[in-house]
């Protein structure tokens, strides 16, 4: 097996946790970035859940594709499974992404499992702000996750108006 790609749309952009041999802006069609997952481990607990991003049905998602050298294939996939599949709220999937240079590649992605009890669906903005503002988990405060994600998306010229609105309100109250 050769080199492969990993698609990042949230914290993988600013904290991939694995070595890559390059990265490119990328777009994934048919799924969009959404705060649609109750976090029971990384950014919240089961009793006080946070909200983290998932790839949900419809639209498209701009993010980053990371190229991983073939020699690191097994260790990177093992790492991502431990990180992303801790409660099985994501399904591992190979999806076609369009790189910024126009090329398309198959990339490893993690898509929300809508049948998992951690799937929140679409929550109103006030509920999203409430959950993000109050939760904290093994990886730190939920608000830190949202603020860092927005900061890094902006740094690579990706706008996510819903996340920016939530981050703006959270930042005002810190």
Q: What is the CATH number of the domain that holds 112?
A: 3.10.490.10
Contacts of 97 (CB under 8 A, 6+ apart): 5, 7, 26, 27, 28, 65, 104, 105, 106, 107, 109
**Cα separation, 9 vs 53, whole angstroms:** 8
pLDDT surpasses 80 at 1: no
**Whole-number mean pLDDT of the chain?**
96
pLDDT surpasses 80 at 95: yes
| Alpha-carbon distance values, 54 to 22, 112, 162 (Å) | 23, 5, 14
pLDDT value, residue 115 = 97
Q: 174 pLDDT band (50/70/90 cuts)?
A: confident
32-79: per-residue pLDDT in tens?
999 999 999 999 999 999 999 999 999 999 999 999 999 999 999 999
pLDDT value, residue 15 = 95
pLDDT surpasses 90 at 173: no
**Cα separation, 124 vs 129, whole angstroms:** 9
Query: 81 is written with which tokens?
Result: 């499974």
pLDDT value, residue 140 = 96
pLDDT value, residue 144 = 97
Quickly list H helices, 25-160: 73-84, 125-134, 142-155
The stretch 157-165 carries a mean pLDDT of 95
Please provide residue 88's backbone torsions phi and psi, each rounded to the nearest 5 degrees: 60, 30
**Cα separation, 135 vs 84, whole angstroms:** 19
Residue 91: give the domain boundaries. 4-172
Number of domains into which the chain is organized: 1
The stretch 124-145 carries a mean pLDDT of 96
6-33: per-residue pLDDT in tens?
999 999 999 999 999 999 999 999 999 9
pLDDT value, residue 69 = 97
- CB hemisphere CA count around 160 (13 angstroms): 27
**Cα separation, 64 vs 120, whole angstroms:** 25
pLDDT value, residue 81 = 97
Q: 130 pLDDT band (50/70/90 cuts)?
A: very high
């Amino acid at each position: 097996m050769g080199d492969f790609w990993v698609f990042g749309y949230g914290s993988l952009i600013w904290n991939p946790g694995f070595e890559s041999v390059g990265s490119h802006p990328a777009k994934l069609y048919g799924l969009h970035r959404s705060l649609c997952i109750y976090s029971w481990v990384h950014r919240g607990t089961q009793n006080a859940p946070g909200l983290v991003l998932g790839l949900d049905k419809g639209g498209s998602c701009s993010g980053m594709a990371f190229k991983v050298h073939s020699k690191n294939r097994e260790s990177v996939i093992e790492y991502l499974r431990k990180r992303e599949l801790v409660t099985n709220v994501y399904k591992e999937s190979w999806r076609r992404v369009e790189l910024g240079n126009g090329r398309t590649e198959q990339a490893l992605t993690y898509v929300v499992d809508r049948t998992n009890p951690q799937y929140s669906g679409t929550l109103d903005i006030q509920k999203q702000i409430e959950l993000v503002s109050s939760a904290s988990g093994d990886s730190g405060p939920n608000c830190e996750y949202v603020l860092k994600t927005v900061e890094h998306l902006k740094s690579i010229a990706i706008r996510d108006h819903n996340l920016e609105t939530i981050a703006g309100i959270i930042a005002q109250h810190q």
